Structure 1
Amino acid sequence: MAETRKFHYAWLIMGVTFLTLLVTAGIRSTPGILIVPLEHEFGWSRATISLAVSVNLLLYGLMGPFAAAFFDRIGVRRTMAVALFLLAVGVSATTLMTRPWHMVLIWGVLVGCGAGMTAYSLSATVVNRWFHKSQGTVLGVLTASSATGQLLFLPLLARLSHHHGWRSAAFATAAAALVVFPLVLFIMRNHPHEVGVSRYGAEEEAAPAQHDPGENPFRIAMGGLQRGIRSTDFWLLAGSFFVCGASTNGLIGTHLVPACVDHGIPEVAAAGLLAFMGILDLFGTTLSGWLSDRYNSRYLLCWYYGLRGLSLLGLPFALSGPQWSLSAFAIFYGLDWIATVPPTVRLTAESFGRENVGVMFGWIFASHQVGAALAATFAGTVRTYLGDYMVAFLLSGVICLMAAGLVLRINGRRLPRLAPEAA
């Protein structure tokens, strides 16, 4: 069916997805604010707290391919609604914890599973179902929701935690999840044909094939993994994204604020620095999506990982140097934070097909979160036993430089340089 309306329903779907991912990002940014208050209130070590964060990051990634299978089985709308409900309950329950294992169970398992149901596989699924034109640009905007959520939530959460205690920050993020919940129920749809349109920018299309209602989502997800492990491209994509997770969510997202506090920078100011990086990443990731519509994604990834590695190698010196040096790091790193997502999704779709991108990218994103979980635990342990984060920062910079070379081998024989699209 040809599209004749000036306003396409896909933009409304994009808006609700953006808000959902924004709230999820705000919830996931909370540990950076909680580490120091939990140390003071309960006497838990940074390594102990980092373990719960690592479980959260790991499940956030591992839920991705199964969430993509549930998108096919029960629909995107229901899956998103369940995720927001779990997040609201889980974050509220953290205010009741008194033991380290409580944090592992509530924040690590419950919140990790809820967040994982709205991971980047949601963005990939929505973009490929609802958009034919400008997929990279739209994916860049959705991916940037992580930065926007960080921008909106971190300063607020830091102030709430500082003036009213960390529990007030937890309740604030739970309330945000409940606000978005009805929007998902009333506006979200699973496919364009449900509202009588084709994908944005596409000519008349047939309705998508319906999955067997008895098809097991776990079988769908495991089938994608079996296909992936036989593919060299899958291992290259997963390996590079492992490095991405280790150098972003696991290291900087979890430990930059505590590292700043170690160097005498107040927690609220450090959260503001992380939020400033979020502003820059909003532009950087959106631009990355626009570029991935036009140029070879392998070369884009090479640049992104290389520049990120150089910035991380300079971070220990920026922390102990003059104030302008840390600001320079924030600018350099912030523009590059999650710019890797749009080209990685594009390469995944080209390697495995648009209809399989949700599950396949879900598994690739799982490797991202394995890297994040290991980095969060490793950095916390390094800080506990060595007294600072220098080793963790330098090692992360080195592996980013290694990833810059690794990505050039992805889909190398089948992916020609992309010419700019016609307007």
Structure 2
Amino acid sequence: MYQNRPPRLHYAWVVAGLTFLILLVSAGVRSTPGVLIVPLEREFGWSRATISSAVSVNLLLYGLIGPFAAALMANLGVRRTVVLSLTVVCAGVALTSLMTTPWELVLLWGVVVGGGTGMTALVLGATVVNRWFAERRGLVLGVLTASAATGQLVFLPLLAALIQEHGWRSAVWVVAGAAALIVPLIALLFRDWPVDVGLRPYGAKGEVEARPAVSANPVAVALGGLRDGLRSRDFWLLAGSFFVCGASTNGLVGTHLIPACVDQGIPEVRAAALLAMMGLFDLVGTTLSGWLSDRWDNRKLLCWYYGLRGLSLIYLPFALGDTGWGLTAFAVFYGLDWIATVPPTVRLTADTFGRARAGIMFGWIVAAHQIGAAVATLGAGSVRAWMGDYERAFLTSGALCLLTAAMVLQIGRKRKSAAPGTAVLAGEPA
């Protein structure tokens, strides 16, 4: 009588849904500085370069914590790591409502929030996908990566409207509250491994595997991965391309597009809506990128992504001066490409370094991404302070993207390419 019952939902999808929620809230936290720069500038009289320095520290720590977070997840467990991260983020964001000096902004938003969000960085999605899925990995990773776009879509218009009506502190409390609300949900429902609920990974065959034993020091594991990566030509190519990715996305557009729009007389709420629109189209673009990364040459995908992004950034200064549909066209075109680079980069990392070490190596590549974001955040803020506009910052970033489009084609040229469809994702045991 039970044979005709439909199969129950595999718990991998529950874990993936919780991971999406974690990354969505983290993305909302990371996108908040874009709507805080102008209000902080008005209330405290801080320069845009000063505020950008705190955001730069935030982005830098977000990346540098990643490799150690990946090792910590293997030792402490993903659930405990995430609960610790969200607690730190909640406290750091909430305390920013009490700050009155620039050093407090750097300490709270830069160090505390940057370090906290770094523990739920892109390596979280890669780790979850490889532990819980034997099939549909590229697609699931694409959806999880797109959570950053969804975070913008959900949070930015709301935060901009709250700031306009009730001041910037109301937005800070909303973000802190969102982080606090999901902590008990993660503590109750999240599981580290399929074996914890008596299952195989989704799509896997054979016996349920035991939880792997971990005894290595996480700091030593992370630093060992960096040492080996620095000796690899492909690591430098992957890290260099991701440096430019960070410099051309959340470090530049994610942080400075709203202030750049305000400089042109565009209201903050409308500017935030543009970022949210990018988030909507990025949700589509990054999910599609995950699907394509299972089927096409990932180097060629990256070449297209960086080339198109470079052209869109070169167009951006002209779009800002266009009173018509210029900015909307930019938001659609750029949004489709926002973080579509992640799924191909993850797969190329795993091809290069193998399944057992790909999680740590991708963590260091993400660190390069955030160093690029930090440099762009500080650099663009300084360019605005010195030149009075962002034009040179946007054009420079666009040119770097075009150079990177050619560079990524060199990845893996000296080794035999993996057969189509055999690439693996970060964190899967060899």
Considering the TM-score relative to the shorter chain, is it more than 0.5? yes
Displacement after TM superposition at 1:207 (Å): 2.4
CA contact (8 A) 1:296 1:417 kept: no
Per-residue deviation, 1:321: 1.6
| Structure 1 residue 222, shift from structure 2 partner | 0.5
Aligned twin of 1:319: 320
Shift of 1:124: 0.8
2:107 paired with 1:105: yes
Q: Distance in 1 between matches of 2:421 and 2:241?
A: 25
Pairwise mapping of residues 3-402 of structure 1 onto structure 2 (< 5 A)? 5-204=7-206, 206-212=209-215, 215-402=216-403
CA contact 1:91–1:111 (8 Å) conserved in 2: yes
1:171 Cα deviation (Å)?
0.3
Conserved 8 A contact 1:53-1:107: yes
Distance in 1, matches of 2:233 and 2:138, equals 24
Query: Counterparts of 2:347 and 2:279 in 1: how far apart (Å)?
Result: 23
Q: How many residues align?
A: 416
Q: For 1:250, what is the secondary structure of its paired residue?
A: coil
How far off is 1:356 after superposition? 1.9
CA drift at 1:338: 0.2
* Aligned partner letter, 1:183: L
Aligned partner of residue 207 in structure 1, secondary structure: coil
Mapped to 2, the partners of 1:101 and 1:237 lie a distance apart of 34
Would the alpha carbon gap of residues 97 and 239 (structure 1) be closer, same or farther in structure 2, given more than 3 Å must change? Answer: same
Q: Measure, in 1, the Cα distance between the counterparts of 2:46 and 2:198.
A: 55
The farther-off stretch of 154-163 and 198-207 is 198-207
Distance in 1, matches of 2:210 and 2:101, equals: 51
Give me the whole-angstrom Cα distance separating, in 2, the residues matched to 1:50 and 1:32. Answer: 10
AA matched with 1:24: S
Residue pair 1:121, 1:362 contacting (<8 A) in 2 also: yes
**In the TM superposition, what is the alpha-carbon distance from 1:217 to its structure 2 partner?**
1.3
Please list the CA deviations of residues 208-243 of structure 1 after superposition, one character each: whole Å capped at 9, or x if unmatched. 43111xx32111110111121111111111000000
Amino acid at match of 1:226: R
Paired residue type of 1:288: S
Q: Deviations over 1:325-345 (max 9, x none)?
A: 111111110000000000101
Paired amino acid for 2:159: L
2 CA distance for matches of 1:311 and 1:93? 37
Q: Distance in 1 between matches of 2:349 and 2:200?
A: 23
Identity %: 64
Aligned-residue offset at 1:148: 0.2
Are 2:351 and 2:418, in contact at CA under 8 Å, matched by a contact in 1?
no
Which consecutive residues of structure 1, in runs of 5 or more, have no partner in the other structure?
none
Q: Normalising by the residue count of structure 2, what TM-score does the alignment of the two structures yield?
A: 0.95
> Which is further off, 372-381 or 323-332?
323-332
1:419 deviates by: 6.1
Runs of 4+ with deviation above 4 angstroms = none
Deviation at 1:251, TM superposition (A): 0.2
Residues 264 and 417 of structure 1, relative CA distance in 2, 3 Å threshold: farther
CA distance in 2, matches of 1:362, 1:84: 19
2:52–2:377 contact (8 Å) kept in structure 1:
yes
Partner-residue secondary structure (3-state), 1:209: coil
Which AA in structure 2 matches 1:316? P
Contact (CA 8 Å) 2:67, 2:362: kept in 1 or not?
yes
Query: How far apart, CA to CA, are the structure 2 residues paired with 1:85 and 1:345?
Result: 28
**In 2, Cα distance between the equivalents of 1:97 and 1:270?**
26
Alpha-carbon deviations, 1:298-357, whole Å to 9, x = none? 110000000000000000001012321111111110000000000101111111122222
User: What amino acid sits opposite 2:210 in the alignment?
Assistant: A
Provide closer, same or farther for how the CA distance between residues 283 and 420 of structure 1 changes in structure 2, counting only shifts above 3 A: farther
The one-character-per-residue Cα deviations of 1:90-147 (angstroms, maximum 9, x if unpaired) are 0000001100000000000000000000000111111111111111100000000000
CA contact (8 A) 1:56 1:109 kept: yes
Which amino acid in the other structure matches residue 272 of structure 1? A
- Structure 2 residues not aligned, in runs of 5+: 1-5, 424-430
- 3-state SS of 1:249 partner: coil
Secondary structure of 1:354 counterpart? coil
Check whether the contact 1:124–1:357 (CA below 8 A) recurs between aligned residues: no
Distance in 1 (alpha carbons) for counterparts of 2:152 and 2:205? 37
Distance 1:180 1:208 in 2: 26
User: What is the CA distance between 1:283 and its match in structure 2?
Assistant: 0.3
- Give the structure-1-normalised TM-score: 0.96
Looking at structure 2, the residues matched to 186 and 204 of structure 1 have their Cα atoms a distance apart, in angstroms, of 28
For the residue of structure 1 that corresponds to 2:252, the secondary structure is helix
- Answer yes or no: is the 8 Å Cα contact 1:128–1:354 preserved in 2: no
The residue type equivalent to 1:406 in the other structure is: M
String of CA shifts for 1:155-176, please: whole Å, max 9, x gaps.
Answer: 0000111100100000000000
Q: What is the Cα deviation at residue 6 of structure 1?
A: 3.8
* Offset, 1:154: 0.2
State the alpha-carbon separation in 1 of the partners of residues 422 and 412 from structure 2. Answer: 20
Q: 1:183 Cα shift?
A: 1.3
RMSD: 1.4
Partner of 1:177, secondary structure, is helix
Distance 2:137 2:172 in 1: 34
**Separation of aligned partners in 2, 1:96 and 1:373:** 25
